[in-house]
Structure 1
């Protein structure tokens, strides 16, 4: 049996460059094609590039951790603007939201070379300024990572197909080891953070996100971050208030006695 996770991997983070689109990809240009995929969106990052993200709750987007770093300063983006364009295609999105807070997996090291360790921690959660309540944009649920040989798919943007997402629903899990999912899915620069999914009883569920493309023993593969414990840790960090704000942290404003908030409740704003 071939071992994937522990092999020397020639990997590339998917944030720049381009190659021709693979014939197995289906471009989701119109509303009929894109139906059920509206919760996948393009993440525009401070005017310097983009990644792919997926809505997993009305205010939470799942993506790759390395998308949240400036490649020049090697530091986490804290003052720039990150926008989630849900269902972006041909110059329009189904919903536009700004990212206000983000939490990157605490064990992720941006300066580490592409490796099993780096990939398995390449996960981030982004909190939006407002929830997306559009009934056509349904957040995805997550599922346990699939087994070797299982069929998976991926929906992603990339530099040569940045104006509409593309779907590949015929990938295969080639192996999994050390928190890394190795698949045959076709990915390219801009695909970072794209959801790798399975279909269970007709429901699309996310099992991984794209971290890098790689070559193992001469075979082109994609590397994904397994969910499960890493995602649970990110959610715990968010709940504990350890997420980083983009820009200045909103100041607390205490209501005077008898004063009502815009929602009608009497409370202290968080």
Structure 2
């Protein structure tokens, strides 16, 4: 943790005209179909700016960052005001569902500072399940993560409604609660997945919660691990249609 904290301080004092890295690039159109379980989270209605990213992990549960679905005090927004657009691509999406319940990681509510970012995870329970034959959920990783390469995906507020991502991200630092990664993220990537490809299938490794860098630009991604609490929340899912 100390190495990441030192990096936060170093990057924070860079001069304003220092070169900033590029955002995650758009995922090529031909590759987006394999990521339809990754979607955009919006508030109120689909015409409003996307607030975050989420990943369908069971037919009726989306994993995202807690700050995407709750205020700074940890009180959740009205679940019905949150809309999940699975596989959003412009005006199209593979499925659209409203929230029914928000479940916030209990440690997020009782920690402060950097530690809070490592528990910045929540589950959005959908008002009705998404058929798995339309949007197959992404399973959790099983076994050691390794150093990479890993994939980060998200809907960035500067490139609205188009999935962005990189597949060459590597682990700079790993603790029991978080990952420090070499790829850069920006506003809108919060809640997005960190994925690993195993035997032709994608597995969820972590959830992007914050970044290291300038407040207004891209920064190195920090991601929360999927702990036992998260796994318990997704063990029970509603049946599909």
TM-score by length of 1: 0.72
State the match for 2:156 in structure 1.
158
Partners in 1 of 2:79 and 2:197 — Cα distance?
Answer: 38
Tell me which of 41, 44, 47 is aligned to 1:43: 41
Partners in 1 of 2:196 and 2:32 — Cα distance?
Answer: 17
State the match for 1:27 in structure 2.
26
Partners in 2 of 1:50 and 1:110 — Cα distance?
Answer: 24
Partners in 2 of 1:155 and 1:50 — Cα distance?
Answer: 14
State the match for 2:58 in structure 1.
57
Q: Equivalent residues in 2 for 1:3-14 (5 A)?
A: 4-5=3-4, 7=6, 9=8
Change (3 A) 1:74 1:108: closer
Tell me which of 184, 189, 200 is aligned to 2:182: 184
Q: Post-superposition, which runs of at least 4 consecutive aligned residues in structure 1 deviate over 6 A? A: none
**Per the alignment, in what secondary structure is the counterpart of residue 209 of structure 1?**
strand
State the match for 1:211 in structure 2.
209
Partners in 2 of 1:79 and 1:140 — Cα distance?
Answer: 22
Change (3 A) 1:227 1:44: same
Q: Is the 8 A contact 2:193 2:208 kept in 1?
A: yes
The structure whose residues are more often helix, as a share, is 2
Partners in 2 of 1:230 and 1:175 — Cα distance?
Answer: 22
Q: Is the 8 A contact 2:50 2:161 kept in 1?
A: no
Partners in 2 of 1:112 and 1:91 — Cα distance?
Answer: 38
Partners in 2 of 1:48 and 1:231 — Cα distance?
Answer: 27
Structure 2 gaps, min length 5? 13-18
State the match for 1:83 in structure 2.
83
Change (3 A) 1:48 1:108: farther
Q: CA RMSD in A?
A: 3.2
Change (3 A) 1:74 1:54: closer
TM-score by length of 2: 0.80
For residue 67 of structure 1, report the CA deviation from its aligned partner: 0.7
Deviations along 1:154-191, one digit per CA (max 9) or x if unpaired, are: 11111111211112001001111241100012211010
Q: Is the 8 A contact 1:121 1:230 kept in 2?
A: no
Q: Is the 8 A contact 2:79 2:99 kept in 1?
A: no
Structure 1 gaps, min length 5? 13-18, 240-270
Change (3 A) 1:91 1:111: farther
State the match for 2:173 in structure 1.
175
Change (3 A) 1:7 1:111: same
For residue 220 of structure 1, report the CA deviation from its aligned partner: 4.5
